[in-house]
């Protein structure tokens, strides 16, 4: 290890601490509000010493049906990540291993999809769903399949780009060896390649889950009463006359906690996956 | 098993030149054949077509009279060892060796017995429980060898399996591959760009360049009787000395060769070839080992000065500037000379090579 001078180390810590405070302080202050009784949500100056209560959580979770939205968010996020992996992992493998017509242009087109603002995707999808409903009687508006399909527009490119990187790192001889040793290409992919890129798949799944879980705008346009997600309902606590701070932050915590827990639980795979090929 | 390649052609989409250009080749049962050539010569593509990892555009491949051209790699009963891949990283040594056996649904007891047997054969039976991180590069390549052997293939294919190893290990494993070949009696096809490796390993050497087979022969044949200038130049380290020249008849019915700055008389064995070459240019060649330092100038000698000395161990490679040309000469270390010393080089007629400058074919085997 290289020795870093103490002065530089101190400076690095100071900068890191300041940055951490800037990022964490508002979240922390808000999260504290989630446990405050309604009467002191907006007291000025803020009250820091109080008896914590779960009444905000009770309100958003039961009275305002938060558990339903949590369930919706889970169905949509898990469903769309699963579909994105199912389609994206084999696609990424094909992009990494085979040269086919305009494969390069296709990859660039895929990354360009990530640059499109959600409203550009959301409105045409809304119109499309409307036509499908009226013309063919296929109802996708305000349904889980409808949202899961729509989410592929931003999840699938990310899955393909990330996974292609992992596959490209591996020598083609790895599958070829398995193919000579008695397996089909799919067999080789399943038994030899996927176990090696597993940390990459986990990292890709987590990142995509976070994107899907936090998605707000497409859901706002395409989801309805039956499929509202947690981020959408957070918006309902900001009404014309006031902001229900305690309830809003209670919902926020419900949104954040699963992501944080997931990241902590799988952090080793995540780091391994995100630094694939960089660290040995 | 006997391997026959018939009119094999392979083109890649991004190149207008054929990677393998209608080659024909017979490798006899139990032979250790080496495909030798510079990178891009088509040797690896040829091997990959035998393995089924590339599909030929035309031509047939048969193993023991069985046409395998359109079979999947897994159905060809071949095994392959690769240059840049040795062990499946998620499996330990034991599971690596067992992996090909799972494909044929072998019983566990039988798998266990086979794995231990084969591991012992390549001296890795003490490493069976180790993971990929706990074995060295040489050991990993032995695992690849074991994995190749475990299914008792009809043909072993090896794509530069030793190139990524350090020099000492390379020589050691080379010997073991040779021993393995002798013990199993199976047909081996070995690809390398290293001509020394090809010489030491091969029963038969197939020299390739630009997608064509240049020469097929024993190590001695390709070394002592190269069919063309490419083989002469590629085989042998240090390389053969080669110069362009012109031939003219002398009074006694023999031939003399004009080279830049000096001339030589040519031995009788070239006469037949030269009779058909009237007025055409030739390439003259002689190996560094065939040049002698002599005390006095005379017939077929040229005088010059030592410019550089490289020690090779028991022998030295010296570079002599003579008649404005640079000659590489191998001499005994004891007889070596100092830089700047004057010397006379003698070229023995029996060890000269002559090639048609146009076709680059040897004048000795003009018929072949």
Between B268 and B155, the more confident residue is B155
Is there a contact between B286 and B347 (Cβ–Cβ < 8 Å)? yes
Chain A: nearest CA to B26, how far in angstroms?
Answer: 22
Q: Which residue of B has its CA nearest to A182?
A: B74
pLDDT greater than 50 at residue A150: yes
pLDDT classification of B213: cutoffs 50, 70, 90: very high
pLDDT greater than 90 at residue B193: yes
- pLDDT for A279 equals 42
B80 part of contact set with chain A, CB < 8 Å = yes
Selected for mutation to probe chain A from B47, B68, B77, B82 (highest A CB count within 10 Å) is: B82
The label of the residue with tokens 């019915």 reads B253
**What is the share, in percent, of chain B residues with pLDDT greater than 70?**
99
B319 part of contact set with chain A, CB < 8 Å = no
Q: Which helix (H) or strand (E) holds B59?
A: strand B58-63
Pairwise CB contact (< 8 Å): A176 & B90:
no
The label of the residue with tokens 């359109």 reads B70
Contact list in A for residue B100 (CB cut-off 8 A) is 181-182
- pLDDT for A2 equals 64
Backbone φ/ψ region at A189: left (φ over 0), alpha (ψ -120 to 50), beta = alpha
What is the distance between the alpha carbons of residues A227 and A142, in angstroms, rounded to a whole number?
Answer: 6
pLDDT digits (tens, 9 = 90+) for B256-291: 898 988 889 888 888 888 877 767 889 999 999 999
Selected for mutation to probe chain A from B99, B118, B140, B155 (highest A CB count within 10 Å) is: B99
Q: Measure Cα distances from B328 to A64, A153, B240 in Å.
A: 92, 66, 8
pLDDT classification of B365: cutoffs 50, 70, 90: low
Q: Which residue of A has its CA nearest to B98?
A: A181
Nearest by CB to A181, from B84, B89, B100: name it.
B100
Burial class (CB in 10 A: 0-12, 13-18, 19+), B182: exposed
Q: ω into residue A45 within 30 of 0, thus cis?
A: yes
Q: Of A73-77, B129-133, B266-270, give the lowest mean pLDDT range.
A: B266-270
Chain A: nearest CA to B264, how far in angstroms?
Answer: 52
Q: What is the dihedral of CA B172, B177, B183, B185, to 10 degrees?
A: -160
Rounded to an integer, the average pLDDT of B20-31 is 95
pLDDT greater than 80 at residue A3: no
* ipTM greater than 0.90: no
**What is the share, in percent, of chain A residues with pLDDT greater than 70?**
96
Query: What pTM value is reported for the model?
Result: 0.83
pLDDT classification of A130: cutoffs 50, 70, 90: confident
Pairwise CB contact (< 8 Å): B103 & A192:
no
B253 SS3 class: coil
What is the distance between the alpha carbons of residues B242 and B233, in angstroms, rounded to a whole number?
Answer: 8
User: What sign for the dihedral angle of Cα A162, A165, A169, A171?
Assistant: positive
Q: Which residue of B has its CA nearest to A101?
A: B13
Chain B: nearest CA to A184, how far in angstroms?
Answer: 7
- pLDDT for B144 equals 94
What is the distance between the alpha carbons of residues B216 and B143, in angstroms, rounded to a whole number?
Answer: 31
Encoding tokens for residue A31? 């999260």
pLDDT classification of A225: cutoffs 50, 70, 90: confident
Pairwise CB contact (< 8 Å): A173 & B78:
no
Encoding tokens for residue A265? 């639980």
DSSP conformation letters of chain A: -PPPPHHHHHHHHHHHHHHHHHHHHHHHHHHHHTTS-GGGTT-SSPP-------HHHHIIIIIT-HHHHHHHHHHHHHHHHHHHHHHHHHHHHHHHH---TTHHHHHHHHHHHTTS-HHHHHHHHHHHHHHIIIII----TTSHHHHHHHHHHHHHHHHHHHHHHHHHHS-THHHHHHHHTT--HHHHIIIIIHHHHHHHHHHHHHHHHHHHHH--HHHHHH--TTT--HHHHHHTTB-SS-B-HHHHHHHHHHHHHHHHHHHHHTHHHHHHHHTTTT--
Contact list in B for residue A188 (CB cut-off 8 A) is none
Residue of A196, A170, A182 whose CA lies nearest to B147? A182
Q: Of A252-266, B18-32, B33-47, give the lowest mean pLDDT range.
A: A252-266
Q: Measure Cα distances from B208 to A46, A103, B53, B62 in Å.
A: 84, 33, 20, 20
pLDDT classification of B367: cutoffs 50, 70, 90: very low
Is there a contact between B225 and B364 (Cβ–Cβ < 8 Å)? yes
- Give the N- to C-terminal CA distance of chain A in Å, as an integer: 16
The label of the residue with tokens 């390709």 reads B222
Q: Of B31-45, B49-63, B217-231, B289-303, give the lowest mean pLDDT range.
A: B289-303
Backbone φ/ψ region at A259: left (φ over 0), alpha (ψ -120 to 50), beta = alpha
Q: Measure Cα distances from B25 to A200, B206, B246 in Å.
A: 45, 9, 35
pLDDT classification of B366: cutoffs 50, 70, 90: very low
Phi, psi of B267 (to 5 degrees): -70, 165
Q: Of A108-117, A198-207, B41-50, give the lowest mean pLDDT range.
A: A108-117
Pairwise CB contact (< 8 Å): A179 & B72:
yes
Selected for mutation to probe chain B from A97, A176, A177 (highest B CB count within 10 Å) is: A177
The chain-wide mean pLDDT, for chain B, equals 91
Q: Measure Cα distances from A159 to A50, A86, A106, A217, A228 in Å.
A: 46, 10, 14, 21, 25
pLDDT greater than 70 at residue A252: yes
Rounded to an integer, the average pLDDT of A140-165 is 90
pLDDT greater than 70 at residue A278: no
Selected for mutation to probe chain A from B47, B52, B68, B73 (highest A CB count within 10 Å) is: B73
Residue of B28, B31, B12 whose CA lies nearest to B20? B12
How many C-beta atoms surround the C-beta of residue B173 within 10 A? Answer: 19
pLDDT greater than 50 at residue A280: no
pLDDT greater than 60 at residue A174: yes
- The most confident of the ranges A1-5, A180-184, B255-259 is A180-184
B346 part of contact set with chain A, CB < 8 Å = no
DSSP conformation letters of B115-126: HHHHHHHTT-TT
Between B242 and B248, the more confident residue is B242
B261 part of contact set with chain A, CB < 8 Å = no
Contact list in B for residue A187 (CB cut-off 8 A) is 103
Nearest by CB to A180, from B13, B73, B90: name it.
B73
B53 SS3 class: coil
Chain B: nearest CA to A66, how far in angstroms?
Answer: 43
The chain-wide mean pLDDT, for chain A, equals 87
Contact list in B for residue A193 (CB cut-off 8 A) is none
pLDDT classification of A236: cutoffs 50, 70, 90: confident
Encoding tokens for residue B174? 């080379």
- pLDDT for B71 equals 95
Residue of B283, B269, B249, B211 whose CA lies nearest to B56? B211
Rounded to an integer, the average pLDDT of B233-238 is 92
- Kindly report the CATH number that applies to the domain delimited by A62-274: 1.10.3720.10
Helices (H), chain B: 43-51, 93-103, 108-121, 137-149, 167-184, 195-201, 219-224, 229-234, 271-275
Is there a contact between B128 and B134 (Cβ–Cβ < 8 Å)? no
pLDDT classification of B368: cutoffs 50, 70, 90: very low
pLDDT digits (tens, 9 = 90+) for A13-63: 999 999 999 999 988 888 888 888 877 887 778 777 888 888 888 888 888
The full length of chain A comes to 280
Give residues with Cβ within 8 angstroms of B269, minimum separation 6: B364
Encoding tokens for residue A280? 């040995």
Contact list in A for residue B85 (CB cut-off 8 A) is 171, 173-174, 176-177
Rounded to an integer, the average pLDDT of A157-183 is 92
B295 part of contact set with chain A, CB < 8 Å = no
Task: Compute the 3-state secondary structure of chain B and give helix, strand, coil in percent, each to the nearest 5.
Answer: 30, 35, 35
Contact list in B for residue A99 (CB cut-off 8 A) is 13
Residue of A265, A256, A246, A207 whose CA lies nearest to A73? A256
What is the distance between the alpha carbons of residues B211 and B191, in angstroms, rounded to a whole number?
Answer: 14
Domain ranges of chain A: 62-274
- pLDDT for A44 equals 77
Residue B342 CB-half CA count within 13 A: 6
Residue A84 CB-half CA count within 13 A: 33
Pairwise CB contact (< 8 Å): B51 & A183:
no
Residue of A213, A244, A247, A249 whose CA lies nearest to A231? A213
B67 SS3 class: strand
DSSP conformation letters of B295-346: SS--TTEEEEEEEEEEE-SSEEEEEEEETTEEEEEEEEGGG---TT-EEEEE
The label of the residue with tokens 């020795």 reads A3
Residue of B192, B179, B242 whose CA lies nearest to B219? B192
B147 part of contact set with chain A, CB < 8 Å = yes
Chain A: nearest CA to B261, how far in angstroms?
Answer: 52
């Amino acid at each position: 290890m290289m020795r870093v001078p103490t002065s530089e180390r101190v400076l690095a810590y100071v900068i890191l601490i300041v940055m951490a405070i800037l990022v964490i302080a508002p979240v922390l202050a808000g999260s504290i509000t989630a446990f405050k009784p309604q009467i002191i949500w907006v007291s000025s100056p803020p009250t820091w010493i109080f008896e914590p209560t779960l009444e905000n959580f009770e309100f958003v979770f039961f009275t305002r049906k938060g558990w339903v939205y949590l369930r919706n968010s889970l169905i949509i996020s898990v469903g769309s990540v699963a579909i994105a992996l199912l389609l994206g992992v084999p696609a990424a493998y094909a992009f990494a291993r085979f040269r086919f017509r305009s494969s390069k242009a296709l990859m660039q087109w895929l990354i360009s999809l990530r640059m499109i603002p959600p409203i550009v995707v959301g409105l045409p999808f809304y119109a499309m769903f409307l036509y499908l409903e009226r013309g063919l009687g296929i109802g996708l508006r305000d349904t889980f399949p409808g949202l899961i399909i729509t989410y592929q527009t931003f999840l699938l490119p990310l899955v393909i780009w990330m996974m292609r990187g992992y596959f490209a790192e591996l020598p083609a001889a790895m599958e070829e060896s398995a193919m000579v040793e008695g397996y089909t290409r799919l067999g080789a992919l399943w038994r030899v390649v996927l176990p090696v890129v597993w940390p990459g798949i986990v990292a890709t799944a987590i990142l995509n889950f976070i994107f899907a879980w936090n998605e707000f705008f497409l859901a706002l346009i395409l989801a309805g009463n039956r499929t509202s997600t947690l981020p959408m309902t957070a918006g309902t606590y900001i009404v014309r006359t006031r902001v229900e701070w305690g309830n809003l932050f209670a919902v926020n915590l419900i949104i954040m906690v699963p992501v944080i827990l997931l990241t902590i639980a799988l952090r080793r795979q995540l780091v391994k996956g995100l630094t694939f090929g960089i660290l040995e | 098993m006997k391997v026959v390649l018939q009119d094999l052609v392979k083109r890649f989409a991004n190149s207008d030149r054929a990677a393998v250009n209608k080659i024909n080749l017979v490798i006899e049962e139990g032979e250790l054949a080496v495909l030798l050539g510079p990178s891009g010569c088509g040797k690896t593509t040829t091997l990959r077509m035998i393995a089924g990892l590339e599909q030929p555009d035309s031509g047939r491949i048969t193993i023991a009279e069985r046409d395998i051209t359109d079979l999947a790699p897994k159905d060809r009963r071949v095994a392959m060892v690769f240059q840049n891949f040795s062990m499946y990283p998620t499996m330990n040594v034991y599971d690596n060796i067992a992996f090909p056996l799972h494909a044929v649904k072998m019983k566990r007891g039988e798998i266990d017995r086979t794995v231990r047997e084969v591991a012992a054969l390549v001296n890795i039976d003490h490493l069976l429980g180790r993971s990929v991180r706990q074995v060295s590069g040489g050991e990993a390549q032995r695992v690849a060898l074991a994995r190749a052997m475990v299914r008792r293939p009809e043909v072993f294919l090896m794509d530069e399996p030793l190139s990524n190893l350090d020099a000492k290990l390379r020589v050691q494993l080379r010997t073991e591959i040779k021993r393995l070949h002798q013990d199993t009696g199976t047909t081996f096809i070995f690809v390398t760009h290293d001509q020394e490796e090809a010489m030491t390993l091969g029963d038969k050497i197939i020299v390739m360049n630009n997608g064509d087979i240049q020469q097929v022969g024993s190590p001695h044949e390709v070394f002592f009787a190269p069919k063309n200038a490419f083989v002469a130049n590629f085989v042998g380290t240090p390389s053969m000395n080669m110069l362009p020249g012109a031939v003219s008849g002398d009074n006694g019915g023999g031939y003399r060769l004009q080279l830049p700055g000096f001339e030589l008389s040519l031995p009788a064995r070239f006469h037949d070839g030269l009779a058909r070459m009237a007025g055409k240019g030739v390439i003259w060649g002689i190996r560094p080992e065939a040049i002698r330092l002599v005390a006095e100038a005379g017939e077929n000698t040229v005088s010059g000065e030592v410019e550089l000395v490289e020690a090779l161990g028991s022998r030295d490679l010296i570079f002599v500037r003579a008649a404005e040309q640079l000659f590489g000469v191998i001499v005994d270390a004891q007889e070596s000379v100092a830089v700047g010393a004057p010397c006379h080089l003698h070229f023995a007629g029996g060890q000269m090579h002559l090639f048609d400058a146009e076709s680059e074919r040897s004048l000795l085997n003009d018929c072949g």
